[in-house]
Copies of this chain bind each other. A is one copy, B any other.
Amino acid sequence: MHAVEVRDRIMIAHSFRGEMFGPAQALHGATFVIDAAFLAETLDPNGVVVDIGAAHAALNAVVRDLNYRNLDDIPEFGGFNTTTEFLTRYVFDRLAGAARNGSLGRDARELAAIRVTIAESDVARAWYKGPLR
């Protein structure tokens, strides 16, 4: 299996509901360093999984809408804790949509999976990996 992975980053505020979160129930924030990996069994005729420029652009298109935001104010997330885990899935879903609508410049049926990793600090990160087909 081949993969290509690109990186971007955002700075956001949010708060969590649930006693488990302790002090993180207060409004706080995070820098999220986000890696998006695209997996495919085969390379395309140019010798790539996807155009790395298109991959960077697709990831940026997803995360720039969240940058410098208070995630508590985004209706799309209403009712859910915007944990690092939750956000990996959100970015995955948006990238899967981008793949299916052709934004990556390769037929999504030739891609096997996407993995989104978000590091919230130097000592903690989360990822979500799911199939595209």
Which residues of A line the B interface, CB within 8 A? 1-9, 11-14, 16, 18, 20-24, 26-33, 43, 46-49, 51-53, 56, 67-70, 80-86, 88-89, 105, 120-130
Contacts and interface: CB of A to CB of B under 8 A. Distances in A.
Contacts of A47: 80-83, 85-86
A128 B78 CA distance: 38
B86 A43 contact: yes
A129 to B, nearest CB: 5
A56 B120 CA distance: 14
A119 to B, nearest CB: 8
Contact of A2 (B11, B20, B28, B88): B88
